[in-house]
Chain A
Amino acid sequence: MNAAVGHSAVVLGLVGALVGMVTLGLGLARGKAGWLRSGQSYPWLVLLAAVVAAGAMEHALVTRDFSLAYVAQNDGLGTPLLFRITGMWSALQGSLLLWTLILAGYLVAVAWHFRRRASDALVAWATFVGLGVAAFFFGLMLLPAANPFKTLVGPVPTNGPGPNPLLQDNPLVAFHPPMLYLGFVGFTVPFMFAVAALITGRLGEGWLVETRRWTLFAWGFLTLGLVLGMFWSYEVLGWGGYWSWDPVENAAFLPWLTGTAYLHSVMVQERRGMLRVWNLSLVLATFALTIFGTFLTRSGVIESVHAFSTSTVGPVILGFFGIIMVTGVGLIVWRGEQLRSPGAIDSPLSREGAFLANNLAFGAFAFVVLLGTVFPLVVEVLHHQSVTVGAPYFDTMTTPIVLTLLFLMAVAPALPWRKATGTVLLHRMRWPAAAGVATVVATSVAGLRDVAAVAAFGLGAVVAVSALRQLVLSARLKGWRGLLGRVNGGMVVHLGVAIVAMAIAASATYGQRGQLSLRPGQTARFDGHTIAYLGTRTRHYQNRNALEAELRLDGGAVVYPAISVFNFGYEGIGTPAIVSGPLQDVYLTLDSSPVGHGPTVIGVVVQPLIVWLWIGGGVMGLGAALAAFPGRRRRPTAPASAPGGAEALPAPALAATGSE
């Protein structure tokens, strides 16, 4: 029953998307506005199909309909309700349902937002492209390897293993993937409009302004999704870290890098009409990287903690990626002449100069991450050698890029458009620079010696004060409204980045880790903490049996790091116990259970400022939300307002462009 309903819904989604494309295509070809308007109703049909399909899957998971292969593999009698619900995205087939559901939601939101412009060719083409993407994903689910509603042949099993233990260990799994998908899939919207602009030849700034908030929305959720992913890694995986340059983390990080570059360079285009090809390329790259990331995660080419399923859909996704790249690059080349802009950048020492440098740094960042991720694959295929490109490579290569980006974030907000003089810059930067110097001197006096980390603290302080300076100036003029709008919201994001950068520099450089072999009743000291081992206890949960170590930290509360054995004979997995504070986290793991009368091995990781990583991530999300609010609109007669650039900058910015 679930299978029949779900399968029909997937077919309905595919047919709906295709018929919508045909309707819009014919309407565009024949210039019939009525057809274009009726074409806008197909996203609703696609959403209906996606909701029914996802609903059928959830119903099957919650009611444990083991006749479905997916449910039999990812659900079990012992699985708690929450993890039965999240089971929908614990393997490839189900996560495609989440993808289509979110994509259909975006398509309907676009159709609703532009409902009065349904007969506009730009909107029609954008919808056409969006329905095409939806058709691909619905079609993918009809392939045997990716079909979520495949039924089992033979007798229906009475129980299943449940999701991978790592996916039923922490409620975060209910938030991290949906947030990440909201970000990933959201980049489809700017892509749709970029392609539509290329096809219709309306290459001005119109499409940028139309999709500005959509991009920001997707970026904000991708940011939160990444931070939650780090949090999940820290809370669940038990190694004390939050980022391991795992191929799949990289796959999620890549669109964030190109998307962030785009959010900055787009301002140059709105303001000066320049960088059109570059911006289109960034939008194309961001969307293509989301598809490429899906290929990396879901094809099984790379083994990683995230490759929870392997399947044969790889070539199909890779083919789709190829189509996107060829189409996108082909369209840009085809429109090449029209994309030339007459403008010029006057001086490298200007806001637009800083944005160019920003894009160079983000481009280099993305290149390093992409190269490091695919390099082992390429070597394997071409030379049958195995090479590992791991964290030391990424750390070495990205540290200078990150420091460059921090420097740019520190200086750029103080740079006026067009051209700055040295005096203006030195005057505006005196307080931020003083904060940075004070931080460097203070950390040196405190005995910190790692040059890269101290540089990160110093630059982080400059970034923070530089952003605060802008916010204070803006708030003085406009009160609380001075915190809204792109520039000011962006400064809140910068503040969050400064916090994150300092937290990462601190925890990565000044962490201590060790292992303690203890017998019950023994106490050990580690990095200024006393850890008393009281003994072990066993606990039975619905889906697992846990062996928990009882540890008293610093004579205070007792905490219980555990090793859990899940039903169905999965390997035991560790669950850390974390004592968080504003200055330091103590992370305790049960590394090996006592054998006979032997000692128990307890892992200890002490890292500073970890909490600020999560706080900084939250501040970044808040900044993205503030940036999405419209700032005060400039008068259309204001001399610097380019067409469509109405919200590019708050009104008083005009004064600055000419000052000095």
Chain B
Amino acid sequence: MGEESAATAPRITHKGARRWRLGLVWLAMVVALGVAFGYDALASHHRQSLDQQVAAIANQVRCPSCEDETAENSATQTAAAVRAAIRQRLLVGQGQAQIEAYLESRYGPSILLRPPAGGLSGLVWVLPVAAAVAALGGLAVAFRRWRPSPAAPLSDEERALLDRARRG
């Protein structure tokens, strides 16, 4: 931003050494970041407790008697019944897909808060991605069109003006 002046910008002298140091600092930061995220990603595959599994599925399902609440967040009895059904089916070894299929057959397709990826509702997933790709493509074309024109060389007069300005 604007407030960079000669004081904070890298000095001309020792420029090479400074660049090296800066490069090393950044390299160290990238490595630290990689290690931290790598460890997080690897360590996060621990087993979830039953409560967490119930919550994860109940968060994807609407409370049948409410408008906009998840079965996990709602305190109503219908939501409690959904949570109980999820728990019961997890205990007998069913997976998320099976449980969601059961809930859909029991309460209708609108019980699922996450629209299915197939069929008509797949559009709601595909359209934003397609639009983003199209916009990025358009931007790439625009940048290609905006090829910078080569800077005109400075005249001696302009050079002198610049020098004076630099000296302040």
**Chain A residues engaging chain B, CB cutoff 8 angstroms:** 238-241, 244-246, 303-305, 344-348, 356, 360, 363-364, 367-368, 371-372, 375, 379, 383, 385-393, 396-397, 413-416, 423-424, 426-428, 430, 433-434, 437, 440-441, 444, 448-451, 454-455, 458, 470, 473-474, 476-477, 487, 513-515, 574, 589, 591-592, 601, 603, 649-657, 659-660
Q: Does B109 contact A (CB under 8 A)?
A: yes
Instruction: Note all chain A residues with C-beta closer than 8 A to B68.
Output: 244-246, 304-305, 390
For A450, list chain B residues within 8 Å (CB). 40, 44
* Given known contacts A241-B73, A348-B143, A424-B9, A388 and B131 CB-to-CB distance under 8 angstroms: no
**Contact at A305–B75, with CB atoms within 8 Å?**
no
Find chain A residues with CB under 8 A from B36 CB.
437, 440-441, 444, 454
Contacts of A455 in B (CB 8 A): 37
* Interface assignment of B19: CB less than 8 Å from any CB of chain A: yes
Contact bitstring B116-160, A, C-beta under 8 A = 1, else 0: 000011011101100110011001001101111100000000000
B70 in complex: contacting residue of A372, A391, A434, CB < 8 Å: A391
Q: Which of B60, B75, B125, B127 contacts A591 (CB 8 A)?
A: B75
One digit per residue, 1 when the CB lies within 8 angstroms of any chain A CB and 0 when it does not, for chain B 61-104 equals 01000011110111101001000000000000000000000000
* Cβ-based interface call for B32 (8 A): yes
Kindly provide the distance from the CB of A394 to the nearest chain B CB, expressed in whole angstroms: 9
Q: A388 contacts B72, CB within 8 Å? A: no
Assess the B4–A375 pair: CB atoms within 8 A.
Answer: no
Distance to closest chain B CB from A380 (angstroms): 10
A474 to B77, CA, bound (A): 57
Task: Report B-chain residues with C-beta under 8 Å of the C-beta of A391.
Answer: 59, 70, 113
Do B132 and A393 touch across chains, with their CB atoms under 8 A apart?
no
Task: Give bound CA distance, A393 to B147, whole Å.
Answer: 39
The answer to whether B59 touches A392 (Cβ under 8 A) is: yes
Q: List 21 A-B contacts (CB under 8 A).
A: A305-B67, A305-B68, A344-B147, A345-B146, A368-B128, A388-B111, A389-B115, A393-B113, A393-B124, A423-B10, A426-B26, A437-B29, A440-B33, A440-B37, A441-B33, A470-B1, A473-B1, A473-B4, A515-B75, A592-B75, A651-B2
The closest CB in chain B to the CB of A466 belongs to B1
Say yes or no: A652 contacts B132, CB within 8 Å.
no
- Asked whether, in the complex, the Cβ of A388 is within 8 Å of the Cβ of B113, the reply is yes
Are the CB atoms of B1 and A364 closer together than 8 Å? Answer: no
B17 contact set on A, CB distance < 8 A: none
C-alpha gap A246/B113 in the complex (Å):
12
Interchain CB contact (< 8 A) of B29 among A246, A388, A433: A433
Chain B residues at the A interface, C-beta cutoff of 8 Å: 1-5, 8-10, 19, 22-23, 25-26, 29, 32-33, 36-37, 39-41, 43-44, 51, 55, 59-60, 62, 67-70, 72-75, 77, 80, 108-115, 120-121, 123-125, 127-128, 131-132, 135-136, 139, 142-143, 145-149
Q: In the assembled complex, which residues on chain A have CB atoms less than 8 Å from the CB atom of B112?
A: 388
Check A386/B108 contact, CB under 8 A, given A305-B67, A449-B43: yes
The answer on a CB contact under 8 Å between A441 and B10 is no
B residues near A367, Cβ cutoff 8 Å: 127-128, 131
List the B side residues contacting A368 at CB < 8 Å: 128
Besides A244-B73, A513-B55, 4 other CB < 8 A contacts? A345-B142, A356-B139, A393-B114, A653-B3
Cβ–Cβ < 8 Å partners of A659 in chain B: 4-5, 9
* Residues from chain B with Cβ under 8 Å of A364 in the complex: 128, 131-132, 135
Could you tell me if A649 and B2 are in contact, using CB atoms closer than 8 angstroms?
Answer: yes
Cβ-defined contact, B3 with A371, below 8 A = no
Contacts of A603 in B (CB 8 A): 75
A427 and B22: CB pair below 8 A?
Answer: yes
Q: Which residue of A lies closest to B33 (CB)?
A: A437
Give min CB distance, B45 to chain A, whole Å: 9
Chain A residues with CB under 8 Å of B8's CB are: 473
Q: Which residue of B lies closest to A455 (CB)?
A: B37
B44–A474 CB distance below 8 A: no
Q: Are B113 and A390 in contact (CB under 8 A)?
A: yes
Report the Cα distance A264→B44, complex, angstroms: 38
Residues of B within 8 A of A397 (CB): 125, 128
Query: Contacts A304-B67, A385-B109, A385-B120 known; A390 to B62 CB distance under 8 Å?
Result: yes
Return the contact of B60 from the options A386, A392, A487, A657 (Cβ within 8 A).
Answer: A392
Cβ–Cβ contact B32 & A441, under 8 A: yes
B135:A474 contact, CB within 8 angstroms: no
Question: How far, in whole Å, are A397 and B127 apart by their CA atoms in the complex?
Answer: 11
Measured between beta carbons, the chain B residues less than 8 angstroms from A441 are: 32-33, 36
Which chain B residues border A653 with CB–CB below 8 Å? 1-3
B10 → A minimal CB distance (Å):
6
Q: Which residues of A contact B128 (CB under 8 A)?
A: 364, 367-368, 371, 397
Which of A246, A371, A474: most chain B CB closer than 10 A? A371
Name the B residues within 8 Å of A426 (CB-CB).
Answer: 22-23, 26
Check B114–A392 contact: CB distance below 8 A.
yes
- A328 smallest CB distance to B (angstroms): 20
